[in-house]
Structure 1
Amino acid sequence: MPSASELPARVAARSRTEARIRTDRLSGRFVFIVQCGIGAALAWWLAKDVFDHPLPFFAPVTAIISLGLSYGQRVRRAVEVMIGVAIGVLIGDIFAHLFGSGVIQLLVVIMLAMTIASLFGAGLLITIQAGVQAAIITTLVAAPGQAFTRWLDAVIGGSVALIISALVPATGLHRPRQQAARVVDEIAAILNETARVIRTDDTALATRTLERARASEAMLVELQSLASEGVAVVRLSPFRRRHLPGAQAISDLLEPLDRSIRNLRVLVRRAAVGTKRHEVVPAAYVALIDDLARSCADISRELHERHAPVAARAGLRRLGERSAAIDPDSGLSGEVIRAQVRSMVVDLLLLTGVPLDEAGGYIPVSGRPTDEGDGEGDGADEDESTPN
């Protein structure tokens, strides 16, 4: 528990952190917010001034709803939302025009709109939007002369959103690369903590580090989403098509990063096991972990600088050569750790663009086959490293 004198400093630090998080969140959403504003205003202008609708409420609403979706599937899902809104508005308009509004009418029109959407093969998103918009239409009775104009307003708003989605993606293409750099940064940090675990025999830190290694999977999942979104954006937007090679290059990082994180979890788990059992892990093996972390830092720096991560290759090659040396005093956990370092060297070489066959050639064969993993089902595949 912090003392009274430490409390103001901790509160100030926490406030600065919260402010930075909120500022980063706003920065990440700013382009999206601008797009929603422009899309809503444009949809309103088209419906009101071009199509002469006196109160085109559904045009800006549909534009905002359609834009407020993940931009990787944004165009497809914007189409779904537009269709769902249009179906709901059309059914609601027809029903309200014929039968008026009320509790029974609301019940029937929602069920009818969602049923028709489902019969047309709509997904859940379209079906829900159909029901929501039908409910709004039924409860907001149209003014004289406005019947069925609201359906056209919904189509106008959805069309504006589609154009904006295709031409001006909500999120910059730099985000997948930044996320890839963060993933590699996290790998480096976990490796540094693992080396500290081994040096200090800190079982509590070992447990926390293992939990952190397992949690790193979420960062990779986010990268997978961003990478697929980035490729989708450049394929859909004629103004971004020239960026396809760069977007695809980031997408190609996913497999070696996934393999590296799997090998990392095995390495951290064996470090935790070795610490609890007081097994011997030679200092040379801990130095391998340190150097592997430095190579990860080099890769991350180049990714942040928007360069191909090639500068780390030389260090990884030297690390692969050093990893072939077996210390006869090492325990089982030490040998598994050395094995996982070797596998991660291959993974990171792949990350820098070295072909698999060539990457395996930089890992010399050791004196005896001791690095086959710990049998816990979470480590390297057999083809991820050369035999020792």
Structure 2
Amino acid sequence: MAENAWDRVTTHAWSVLQAVVAAVVAWTVAGGLVQGHDPFFAPIAAVIALNTSGGERGANAVRLLTGVVFGILAGEAAIVLTGGGGYGALALGVGLAMTAALAIGVQRIVIGQAAASAILTVVFAANFGGGHAGPDRLTDALIGAGVALVFSQLLFPARLVAILRRIEAEALTEMAHMLDVSGRALRRDDDSSSEQMVTWLGDLSRPMTELSRARENSRHTVRLSTIRWGDPGPVLAEDEVIDRLILLGESCLFLARTTAAMSEEERHELAPIVSRMASALYTLADDLSSRQARQDAVEGALRSARRFGAGGSDADPVTTATHLAVEMVATDIMVFAGIRFEEVEEALREDEGGLEVPHPPGVPWLPWLRWRPPVDRIRHRWPSWRRGSR
């Protein structure tokens, strides 16, 4: 538990630091430009706009402004119609803001922000009089969102490769867990029910859906941020990897499904193979930026596929399908790790020899720079030291 908490903190530490600095900058700018009010919403707007996945921070800032505009207009209209800032104005303002946002089909965050803006507009009018909270709040929102856009699109655009690999690792972990459970069930002669297969399919669909959304966001971010000034190669390469990962997930499901229909003797023979495939997937998910991790996964998958061999010509359809599933999973693992498909096919036909995994593309800290420091060599040593210290 403590290790998982530490991993989450270190993963998002850079985003937290950006949000803290953006809040201070927004507060300072709003306080200097707008006199006579407390610019509390400017830092709030900056943090809210940045508090989302890296590829959506720019869109989140636009959503924030949209909600603020709806809320302020609804709040001011409610004050005029009711002649004050009482309970009636509050109810009317919130209702108008949410209805208008729903009418144009915006995201839920815009609806909530519109309601919050209408509430603050009416409450400030009721407590301080004059009804001037709306324009000041809109100015604060513009400043906060502007600061967020400068941070997210110009200075520190999202580390798209790191984001995609983190989601890829989650999907790989789900696949590994599925094969791990399936391998243990084969040893115990447990039947994998259709309900369990549906559960596995649901567990895999969530990270796959998130991965597809992240890939779509990454394409928008590359076009609209300073990433386009740098080297787009790593991002484009990671986009191609996602297609391979989807195929790998389908192969794992196919393997888990076919093993459920095998005889008891065949299950005992296949159990260690399935477990080794799960181990290879866990190794990949542990550090996708490590060439050594990818190499270990490729070697494990290749050995397992060779050891299981191909089904004979007189084998029954279930056995033939299972042999095919093992080969498909091994092939997809190796292709995902960076081996060309032609090399994988040749390696599977041979009894000896191995495959050399290329170095994965680096993860730049500042994507708008073409030059990247050689941090991969440092990372190569650090994961082995970290694992050895556990």
TM-score by length of 1: 0.70
Corresponding residue of 1:77: 60
8 Å CA contact retained: 1:88, 1:131: yes
**Offset, 1:79:** 0.3
User: Is 2:23 the partner of 1:35?
Assistant: no
8 Å CA contact retained: 1:267, 1:341: yes
8 Å CA contact retained: 1:227, 1:247: no
**Offset, 1:70:** 3.4
Instruction: Map 1:138-287; keep pairs closer than 5 Å.
Output: 138-141=122-125, 142=128, 146=132, 148-167=135-154, 168-169=156-157, 173-184=161-172, 187-188=175-176, 190-191=178-179, 194-198=182-186, 200-203=187-190, 213-214=200-201, 215-238=203-226, 241-274=229-262, 277-278=263-264, 280=266, 283=269
**Offset, 1:361:** 6.5
Corresponding residue of 2:327: 342
Q: As a proportion of its length, which structure holds more helix?
A: 2
Q: Give identity over the alignment, percent.
A: 25
User: Is 2:93 the partner of 1:109?
Assistant: yes
User: Is 2:123 the partner of 1:136?
Assistant: no
Corresponding residue of 1:305: 290
Corresponding residue of 2:79: 96
CA distance in 2, matches of 1:47, 1:97: 27
Deviations 1:259-299 (A, max 9, x none): 2222212222332332xx5353584x666546645654665
Instruction: Map 1:14-53; keep pairs closer than 5 Å.
Output: 17=1, 19-53=2-36
- Residue 202 of structure 1 aligns with an amino acid whose one-letter code is D
CA distance in 1, matches of 2:222, 2:251: 32
CA distance in 1, matches of 2:268, 2:78: 78
- Residue 328 of structure 2 aligns with an amino acid whose one-letter code is S
Corresponding residue of 2:362: none
CA distance in 1, matches of 2:204, 2:183: 18
Q: What's the secondary structure of 2:230's corresponding residue?
A: helix
CA distance in 2, matches of 1:319, 1:54: 69
**Offset, 1:169:** 4.2
Corresponding residue of 2:368: none
CA distance in 2, matches of 1:257, 1:119: 38
8 Å CA contact retained: 2:75, 2:89: no
TM-score by length of 2: 0.70
Corresponding residue of 1:326: 311
CA distance in 1, matches of 2:71, 2:191: 57
CA 350–135 in structure 1, closer or farther in 2 if over 3 Å, else same:
same
8 Å CA contact retained: 1:281, 1:331: no
- Residue 60 of structure 2 aligns with an amino acid whose one-letter code is R
Aligned residues: 344
Larger of the two Rg values belongs to structure:
1
